[in-house]
Chain A
Amino acid sequence: MIPIRILNRKRAWAAVGRRFLTSHAAQNPLSPPPAAAAFPGHHGLPFLSHLSSRLARPSHAGAGFPSSEGVSIGNFELILIVLLCWRWKRRCFSGSAAAGLPEDGTVDVPLAQTGEGIAECELLQWFVKEGDEVDEFQPLCEVQSDKATIEITSRYKGRVSRMLYVPGDIVKVGETLLKMVVDESQAPVQSVDSQVPIKVSGNLDGELSSGADLNTTGSGGVLCTPAVRHLAKQYGISLSGIQGSGKSGRVLKEDILKYAAQKGIIESSGIPLGDQLQDELGSVQVIENPSDKKVTLRGFQRAMVKTMSMAAKVPHFYFVEDIKCDALVELKASFQKQTTDPGVKHTFLPLLIKALSSALSLYPLVNSSFNEDAMEVVLKGSHNIGIAMATPSGLVVPNIKNVQSLSILEITMELARLQQLALANKLSPEDITGGTVTLSNIGAIGGKFGSPLLNLPEVAIIAMGRIQKVPHFDEKGNVYPASIMTVNIGADHRVLDGATVARFCSEWKRLIEKPELFILQLR
């Protein structure tokens, strides 16, 4: 689901280009563009705190790029990162690039999240006017939400170019409050660390640097990265004597190793793992000063710290199950083949969502919310199933209302509508509030399964891993390929016990593995 959308978005980037990156990054310079974003940011969603997957733990709460600790990543992520580097060129990973500034340096400053569930605020007063120079962290305006007046401070140092609201106006969270001109040379402190560029393992043609230009100086103009140059120096090899096998005659690491092996400098089986790791780590270091950088959390990341902390206080337990998806795969293919409307794209999710709703009808406690202050559980009448989505501003969880009353086709349409709005960052407060249970299709990005944190005040969250083809045994002991999806249900142990969740999951699994059972529920 999500990777397909991201790949589509890549094509959109090629057309829209920098403008898209600008508006995204300007909204939240701490969070990476959606392609690389996999984890909470928007609305401070607390879940997905750790994954037993290939993606490394983020180095800050905003789940930016994987850390610089030489984690190798898969092809899909590589494509995205390459695209990012290509689009951003030398400005990639510098402060101004993180802000995604267009040529004229204007950024949109949005009303950032001021608290869980607060979808809009009243603008009370401006502290600045058009044309004013403002410093980073200088108060820009005061807004009111419910019981609180809140000062909104500037993320940037720059000049106010246009204010889009007047006192008394109601501003939705995420909408642009004002536009500022930010000087590239005075890039905001809240930038992606220059060390964040990750080591890209050479799955693609040639070796990619993390955005640093290839060093063409020295050694008679041999093309190679600083890391390769360093490796050559380590072995005492002159680059001019090596035939580069990369693009345009670029000397790659493999060329150095091969040469060194030929010359008997190293064992031909390759360098030891430790040194290899050191190499990988070494290649991460960029030319810029590798000193520490403080990143103050703001907006969605800041809210996420709060909501994560609150969710972490809830005693979670996890129930993991494998679900056979062969029938599901076949059914989806059949829908796609039979569909008369080219605008409708059939995926697995609507079927999973409808099956979930059926299971919730039998186990309403899983579709409840817990109010600790009042010590009461509210069994929610509607199945408002939240679906995690990656957007320009981070992860959001819009929900489909009243799934119990919707057909699978209606769910498909509603899902598409919410996805479109999410990508355009135009979800309404109605879309993102009132959810009763959350589904996270993290497998679409990668990983076997996760250990999600609850989206309070819900009591259950379901993380679905990727559908993978694995060998299974039939009753006769023959091996056959089966499409298996691993799911991890996180549940609030104050409300749900293992038996309830296990039974609920069995019911959901039953419908997914035998979707013909839906017919029994037709009216």
Chain B
Amino acid sequence: MGILRQSEKLGLPLMNLVRFKGMPILDQLKLEEKLLRTTSDNWCIVNDGADAPTIVMGVSGKPAELLELESVIGDNVPVIKRFTGGGTVIVDEGTIFVTLICNKDAVPKVQPYPRSIMSWSGKLYDEVFQGIGDFQLRENDYVFGNRKFGGNAQSITKDRWIHHTSFLWDYEDRNMTYLKLPSRAPEYRSARDHTEFVCRMREYLQRSAFIDKTIKALDNYFLVQPANPSEVSSCQVAKFAHSTRLLSKQELEDACSSTKPGTIAQSASI
């Protein structure tokens, strides 16, 4: 009740802040989808590192086009299809996730359209990275100079939207080899391969500093109040079907086979 009065006084909408560390990305995405579709609150979810390396594709990603399937299958790398648009990433404990789920009227002058939300997020992170590196929102990516360190995806529903980002705090070069060079790429990528295109956020600021500055920047738009992560993640919702899912090995193998005409008969006999 006290917080409500304070928020009215400030005129800012409430935002629940949930912090995790090392939460598996599949669980995080399922939680996000649930919060987007079944609640009417504003949320900020921070996951300070996922767990084991996992590939995450956008809602319409095609494994055969985006992944080096033989090595993905051979090395048992999990592949997830998430509920938002956008491209493919490989995440691990070196990835920091920041997700914003908002009602469409939560932020003044931000319309529930991709560009409007993206542009506002750029301003938000401008404050976070003020004076650090040459930060900018470039097309749909967060970059230092011309090197990407944060990728974005969104989903916009009738009354709400989600904008989530995976930040490359650190990454293993060899993990990038599981991903093909995408056919759809931003102009500024200029056909650079992964190692030339991305950079590590750890070279610019500390992990905790980044998270603290992000929460502080959100304070300008919301009244941020911490929520209990275990309560939030354990809350059950009836009649809600996730669209985020883990692809089965069979699906990956089928996709792999479909790219090789000679082996189609072989896979069909399994």
Interface size on B, residues (CB 8 A): 29
Q: Are A144 and B60 closer than 8 Å at their CB atoms?
A: yes
Q: Is the CB of A373 within 8 A of B85?
A: no
CA distance A114 to B112 in the complex (A): 9
Once the chains bind, are A139 and B60 in contact (CB under 8 Å)?
no
User: Are B109 and A309 in contact, CB atoms less than 8 angstroms apart?
Assistant: yes
- B38 on the A face (CB < 8 A): no
Segment 134-165 of B: residues with Cβ below 8 Å from A: 136-138, 140, 152-158
A153 lies within 8 A of B158 (CB): yes
User: Does chain B have a CB within 8 A of A38?
Assistant: no
9-residue interface stretch from B19-27, B115-123, B223-231? B115-123
Query: Which residues of chain B come closer than 8 Å to A144, judged between CB atoms?
Result: 58-60, 85
**Are B136 and A118 neighbours in the complex by a CB distance under 8 Å?**
no
For chain B residues 144-188, which have a beta carbon within 8 Å of chain A? 152-158
**0/1 interface trace, chain A 296-319, chain B, CB 8 Å (1 if under):** 000000110110011000000000
Decide yes or no whether A117 CB sits under 8 A from chain B. Answer: yes
B138 touches A116 (CB 8 A): no
Supposing A305-B111, A306-B113, A373-B122 touch, asked if A147 and B136 sit within 8 A by C-beta, the answer is no
B154: contacting residue among A148, A153, A374, CB under 8 A: A148
A137 within 8 Å of B by Cβ? yes
By size class, the interface of chain A is 20 to 34
- Asked, given contacts A147-B85, A151-B156, A374-B138, whether A306 binds B118 with beta carbons under 8 Å apart, the answer is no
Closest to B117 in A: A148
State the majority secondary structure of interface residues on A. Answer: mixed
A279, CB-defined interface residue at 8 Å: no
Residues of A within 8 A of B157 (CB): 139, 151
A217 to chain B, nearest CB (A): 46
A114 touches B113 (CB 8 A): yes
Q: Which B residues lie within 8 Å of A122 (CB)?
A: 60
Q: Does B84 contact A (CB under 8 A)?
A: yes
- For residue B13, CB closer than 8 A to chain A, the reply is no
Per the 8 Å Cβ criterion, residues 392-413 of A in contact with B are: none
Query: A146, B85: Cβ atoms under 8 Å?
Result: yes
Contact B136 A374 (CB under 8 A): yes
Which of A115, A146, A148, A310 has most chain B Cβ within 10 Å?
Answer: A148
Min Cβ gap A312→B in Å is 10
**Which residues from A are CB-within-8-Å of B118?**
147
User: Top 5 nearest A-B pairs by Cβ distance?
Assistant: A148-B154, A148-B114, A147-B86, A306-B111, A115-B113
User: Can you pick out 28 interface pairs between chain A and chain B where the beta carbons lie within 8 Å of each other?
Assistant: A114-B113, A115-B113, A115-B114, A115-B116, A116-B113, A117-B115, A118-B115, A124-B60, A139-B158, A144-B59, A145-B85, A146-B85, A146-B86, A147-B58, A147-B114, A147-B152, A147-B153, A148-B114, A148-B117, A151-B158, A168-B60, A305-B111, A306-B111, A306-B116, A309-B109, A310-B119, A373-B122, A374-B138
